[in-house]
Amino acid sequence: MYYVLIRGPSYKGLDFEAREDIRNGLRQTLEANGLRYVQYNWVWDEEDRCLLEAGKYEHKDDAFHLIKALESMGFEICIRTSLPGDEY
């Protein structure tokens, strides 16, 4: 499985309210670009950065159009083949 994730700013040293402000900012930017998710899945990042799951694909090539669209909106994207907790 391939997970397309939007990389947000660092959470390092921030309290819950400041972290929530980062998440709200990402949601607002997505919505301003015409994207709205039914559910926003926030992912833990070993570097303590905000990550939002934008899509999940069986084949990496299937994610190409989503990645290009998100990058055109100014988002930084990363792809993972597993997420924390998948091993359980």
Specify the CATH number for the domain of residue 53: 3.30.70
Does residue 86 fall inside a structural domain? no
Range of the domain at 16: 2-80
pLDDT tens for each residue of 45-74: 888 999 999 999 999 999 999 999 999 999
Per-residue pLDDT tens for 10-45?
999 999 999 999 999 999 999 999 999 999 999 988
Mean pLDDT over 67-88 rounds to 87
Q: Strand pairing of 76-80 and 49-57?
A: unpaired
For 42, half-sphere exposure in the C-beta direction (CA atoms, 13 angstrom radius) is 13
Query: Going by DSSP bridges, is the β-strand pair 2-10/49-57 parallel, antiparallel, or unpaired?
Result: antiparallel
Would 7 be classed as within a structural domain? yes
Single pTM value for the model: 0.87
Residue 85's pLDDT is 65
On whether residue 73 sits in a domain, the answer given is: yes
Considering only CA atoms, which of 27, 49, 21, 56 is closest in space to residue 40? 27
88 pLDDT above the threshold of 60: no
Domain count within the chain: 1
